[in-house]
Amino acid sequence: MNEMFIVSSLANVIAGAKLKRETKGSMLKNEVFSFQVVYRYDWCAREIDVTIDSPIKKFVSVRMEEIVPVTTPNTWAGDDFVLSKEPFLLPDVLVPIEKRRPTGRYNTYSVLWFTVKGDLPVGTHDIVITLDSGGNKQTCKYKLTVVDAKLEEVDFKYTRWFHYDGIAQYYNLPVFSPEYNKIMDNFIKCAVNHGQNMLLVPMFTPPLDTRIGSERLTVQLVDVEVKNGKYVFDLDRLVAFMKHIKKLGIKYFELSHLFTQWGAKAAPKIMAKKNGKLVQIMGWDTPTTGAKYKKFLSEFLPTLRARLIKEKLFKSCYFHLSDEPSDKTIEDYSIARNIFKQYVPDGIVMDALSHYDFYERGLVDRPVSGTDAVIREFIANNVQNMWVYYCCGQCGGNLSNVIMAFPAYRNRVLGVQLYMNQINGFLQWGYNFYNSVLSDEPVNPYFITDCGGGLQSGDGFIVYPGKNGPYDSIRHEVFFEALQDFYLFHTLEKKIGRVKTEALLEKYGFKKSFTEYPHEEEALMKARSAAHRLLGKK
């Protein structure tokens, strides 16, 4: 028996799922709105033609959903708010139908992802969708109401770490070669189109997720030469790169970590020209406290600061020292901080932290706290300009995350939480990390979704390497919907005030918490509808 119906963007179409059909929705004029068309044939439909009939047809695009294996759903620290605790198959890859024509698998659900985007006309519009497989046609209709209001801009910064080696290794291209740069630009544009406005810039190969004593592929933008015992720096490529990504829509720059991860024990991998040859001059065997790296930084940091100021880029820069320093390394981090501030006193230090002590001692200007228990201490102490992050550790306690095993709604609820807790920035470590844990080897993310078995599926990446650029994921689209929710309630706040906006969200069960919230998407949809109605009133 053939079948075709529509579900929301938050429906996870997996085996055994109970799917709630949807026929209508609403959006502001400049929101991006998505829904899914689910269909089934009682034979293998090898080729399907998709037709859209609507007065807003030019604003509607469609992609095919492809499945990937969720081999590590969660860890021992997880909870029960998941799609499955056992490995399963999940639709996640979004392939434009121009790249691959839709098909229908025998007697099982296939799914198409529809996106409505653009400066839409106000009013209620029918979107009629027809699938035609060899003359066998199925049709369904969606009513979309466009509200006469727009999301307003909010001073919010969002970054998801860009892994430059992932592109080079998957596409087998030299880093920053012309062919590489074209693909890299498409990855960056995709990030920008999903709300990202800050990008990790590799001054030197970022010392992230690397096994001690080993190294990742070199992705260094600062050219260094050793001459007569001194360092000569050429920052032209770095500056050109920063200006280029600014044209692509990036507004803020994260300058890569100056010290190794988890405690600032050593220097990052630094390559330099010496006696006419490119060699490694710094790395795991270069301690933070040693004279060698201190001398290097005493020459590099003033040069960097002066050039960034000259190019009018400095005020948009955020500096990293060491990612996730432990409480046992606070003294090493303090030394790193003092070295940095000696030469860049006005530089903003931003790092992910699991310990409030680092901020209390004035070691970090922009603390980025995990959304788990640590954030409570920052909020209790009324820390301003607060950022949050999540990664593999924020997988229990009903915390939001983009882990594949989590319901889409659990991904999206973050937007309301960012608003209710008055958060100013968000960081996540894996935009396109296509390596195993600690970067021992490259992996194919279509088959290995869990970083070689060491992390939850989906933690390391949110886009897939496609033809000449990324294929998006459903998780990426839903996260962008979360950002839109954040902007929506800020827009409403400008009209009715903070107190009334919070009261509206509290009415539907939301709190100033990252762990307590309604576990049904209807609460969020009702809150959004209420916000749309209020914004639509003149």
CATH of the domain at 124: 2.60.40.10
Nearest to 477 by CA among 227, 140, 245, 195: 195
**CB within 8 Å of 442: residues ≥ 6 apart:** 166, 169, 170, 434, 435, 436
Q: Are residues 207 and 337 in the same domain?
A: yes
Bridge-partner residues for 104, per DSSP? 45
pLDDT in tens, 255-309: 999 999 999 999 999 999 999 999 999 999 999 999 999 999 999 999 999 999 9
Q: Are residues 247 and 324 in the same domain?
A: yes
Instruction: Give the integer Cα–Cα distance in Å for 130 and 107.
Output: 19
**Structure confidence at residue 1 as a pLDDT band (50, 70, 90):** low
Based on the number of CB atoms within 10 Å of its own CB, is 310 exposed (0-12), middle (13-18) or buried (19 or more)?
A: exposed
Q: Where are the alpha helices (DSSP H) in 163-270?
A: 164-171, 178-193, 236-247
Residue 57 placed within a domain: yes
* The predicted structure's pLDDT at residue 47: 86
Residue 97 placed within a domain: yes
Residue 142 placed within a domain: yes
**Structure confidence at residue 98 as a pLDDT band (50, 70, 90):** confident
pLDDT in tens, 189-240: 999 999 999 999 999 999 999 999 999 999 999 999 999 989 999 999 999 9
Q: Are residues 271 and 206 in the same domain?
A: yes
CB atoms within 10 A of CB 182: 12
Domain boundary among 89, 122, 147: 147
**pTM score:** 0.98
Three-state DSSP at 130 gives strand
Residue 282 placed within a domain: yes
Q: What mean pLDDT comes out for the span 23-45?
A: 94
Nearest to 462 by CA among 451, 448, 476, 449: 476
Strand (E) or helix (H) holding 415: helix 414-420
Q: Are residues 201 and 99 in the same domain?
A: no
Q: Tally the domains of the chain.
A: 2
Q: Residue 206 sits in which domain range?
A: 197-349
Distance (Å) of CA 489 to CA 63, 103, 486: 29, 39, 6
pLDDT in tens, 460-505: 999 999 999 999 999 999 999 999 999 999 999 999 999 999 999 9
Q: What mean pLDDT comes out for the span 420-440?
A: 98
Can you point out the beta strands (E) in 264-334? 270-274, 277-282, 317-319
pLDDT in tens, 111-159: 999 999 999 999 999 999 999 988 889 999 999 999 999 999 999 999 9
Residue 276 placed within a domain: yes
Q: Are residues 76 and 204 in the same domain?
A: no
CB atoms within 10 A of CB 172: 8
* The predicted structure's pLDDT at residue 2: 87
Three-state DSSP at 296 gives helix
Q: Are residues 205 and 141 in the same domain?
A: no
Q: Are residues 18 and 141 in the same domain?
A: yes
The tokens for 167 are 């592109």
Domain boundary among 89, 121, 147: 147
Q: What mean pLDDT comes out for the span 384-389?
A: 95
Domain boundary among 349, 372, 393: 349
The tokens for 448 are 């290995």
Q: Are residues 143 and 205 in the same domain?
A: no
Q: How far apart are the first and last CA of the chain?
A: 48
Residue 312 placed within a domain: yes
Average pLDDT in the chain? 96
* The predicted structure's pLDDT at residue 268: 98
* The predicted structure's pLDDT at residue 46: 78
* The predicted structure's pLDDT at residue 381: 94
Q: What mean pLDDT comes out for the span 402-408?
A: 97
Say what the alpha-carbon torsion angle 84, 85, 86, 90 is, to the nearest 10 degrees.
30
Q: Are residues 234 and 327 in the same domain?
A: yes
**Are 157 and 252 in contact, with CB atoms under 8 Å apart?**
yes
Q: Are residues 203 and 74 in the same domain?
A: no
Q: Are residues 325 and 257 in the same domain?
A: yes
Residue 205 placed within a domain: yes
Separation of CA 451 from chain center? 17
The pLDDT of residue 415 is above 70: yes
Torsion angles phi and psi, residue 405, rounded to 5: -75, -5
Residue 338 placed within a domain: yes
Q: Are residues 105 and 240 in the same domain?
A: no
